[in-house]
């Protein structure tokens, strides 16, 4: 089967069925390994590469982010690669600089970061995008996300600024990330009213496990958001953390892992049991099965975004492209749970 493509929203633009996240490139993943992963992704037929201006400020004291974009810029500059790539980046989530952003041991203070995000003001986004384009070494990005929804800035200001950047040719398509469904609806209504370009991609955390009752994360797709996406084909779901840090393959890793906090419970136990059964039948790992299941959802259409830290993790994801689940297997996976 190999790397197939899927239409982004109803734009006519085809993108890879599996997107590659570059968040750790330039930090946890060194230059050599990053280049190896990027080259292999292109060889495998991939084209949809995702980064953000804030990646990865938290990895190093006094960093202002941009390491991932800079590394991608160096890689893209070699031999016409920019034309082979559907390039996505994001703005709004770089916190205001403060020495207090890092504790004495170098760990990031996320509470402070969330309170001081740059946000989605018009001037903020215009400057952020120019910085991203400079680091990426290109005159436009194919997809630009508002990375964190900013309720302190009027949506009209954000949307008008983004429309201007599309008109200027610096952005082809728009996306939003970490956002509630009611906000998405308001965004779409304003775009409709004023003739501004509406988002065609929604990037949220989404996986096979379902968030436990009471989970209130704005970043994780819930039942209502899936229903909304089901009804709006012009919006494609880009699923980040699709394999939840690889916890599906390793019960020991799952136990007490922070990635499980939003999911732990009887529904998850039931889904993991069926996942293990179907993975054994299909001769793949549970991680690979989750990626295949996401790619084979008829609605809402979903593009899993893998963010490998090592070349080995990237290679481990590729077999998911060749898994063809039968109707009965899909039905069992979909129906599993409490």
Encoded tokens for 231: 């009804």
Q: Please compute the mean of the pLDDT values over residues 287-314 and round it to a whole number.
A: 97
State the pairing for strand pair 48-50/19-21. Answer: parallel
pLDDT at 79 over 90: no
Token code pair at residue 5:
């493509």
Q: Do the beta carbons of residue 126 and residue 91 sit within 8 Å?
A: no
CB atoms within 10 A of CB 42: 17
Q: Determine the Cα–Cα distance for residues 238 and 8; give it in Å rounded to an integer.
A: 10
pLDDT at 22 over 70: yes
* pLDDT, position 147: 98
Mean pLDDT across 271-294: 98
Asked if 90 contacts 201 with a C-beta cutoff of 8 angstroms, the reply is no
pLDDT confidence bin for 151, thresholds 50/70/90? very high
Q: How many CB atoms lie within 10 A of CB 60?
A: 14
Query: Helix H segments across 139-206?
Result: 155-167, 181-194
Identify the CATH number of the domain in which residue 193 sits: 3.20.20.100
pLDDT at 338: 86
Are the CB atoms for 55 and 70 separated by under 8 Å?
no
Question: What's the number of domains the chain is made of?
Answer: 1
Q: Which two tokens stand for residue 100?
A: 């207090």
Evaluate the omega torsion of the peptide bond into residue 50 and state whether it is cis, within 30 degrees of 0: no
CA distance 296 to 17: 10
% of the chain with per-residue pLDDT over 70: 100
Q: How confident is the model at residue 171 (pLDDT cuts 50, 70, 90)?
A: very high
pLDDT at 1 over 70: no
Which pLDDT band holds residue 132 (cuts at 50, 70, 90)? very high
Residue 168's domain spans which residues? 5-335
Whole-model pTM above 0.95?
yes
């Amino acid at each position: 089967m190999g790397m197939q493509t899927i239409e982004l929203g109803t734009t006519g633009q085809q993108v890879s069925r599996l997107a590659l996240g570059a968040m750790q490139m330039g930090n946890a993943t060194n230059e050599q390994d990053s280049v190896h992963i990027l080259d292999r992704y292109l060889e495998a037929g991939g084209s949809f590469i995702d980064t953000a201006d804030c990646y990865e400020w938290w990895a190093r004291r006094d960093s202002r982010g941009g390491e991932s974009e800079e590394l991608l810029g160096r890689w893209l500059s070699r031999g016409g690669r920019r034309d082979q790539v559907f390039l996505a980046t994001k703005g709004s989530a770089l916190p205001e600089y403060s020495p207090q952003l890092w504790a004495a041991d170098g760990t990031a203070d996320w509470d402070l970061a969330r309170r001081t995000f740059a946000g989605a003001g018009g001037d903020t986004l215009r400057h952020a995008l120019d910085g991203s384009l400079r680091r990426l070494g290109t005159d436009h990005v194919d997809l630009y996300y508002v990375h964190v929804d900013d309720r302190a800035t009027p949506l009209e200001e954000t949307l008008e600024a983004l429309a201007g950047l599309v008109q200027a040719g610096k952005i082809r398509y728009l996306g939003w990330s970490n956002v509630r469904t009611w906000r998405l609806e308001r965004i779409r209504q304003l775009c409709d009213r004023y003739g501004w370009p509406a988002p065609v991609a929604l990037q949220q955390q989404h996986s096979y496990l379902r968030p436990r009752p009471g989970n209130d994360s704005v970043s994780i797709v819930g039942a209502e958001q899936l229903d909304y996406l089901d009804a709006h084909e012009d919006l494609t779901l880009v699923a980040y953390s699709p394999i939840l840090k690889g916890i599906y393959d390793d019960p020991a890793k799952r136990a007490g892992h922070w990635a499980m906090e939003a999911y732990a419970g009887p529904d998850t136990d039931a889904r993991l049991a069926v996942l293990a059964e179907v993975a054994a039948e299909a001769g793949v790992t549970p991680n690979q099965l989750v990626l295949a299941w996401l790619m084979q959802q008829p609605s809402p259409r979903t593009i899993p975004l893998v963010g490998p830290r090592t070349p080995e993790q990237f290679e481990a994801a590729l077999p998911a492209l060749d898994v063809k689940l039968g109707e009965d297997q899909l039905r069992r996976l979909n129906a599993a749970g409490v």
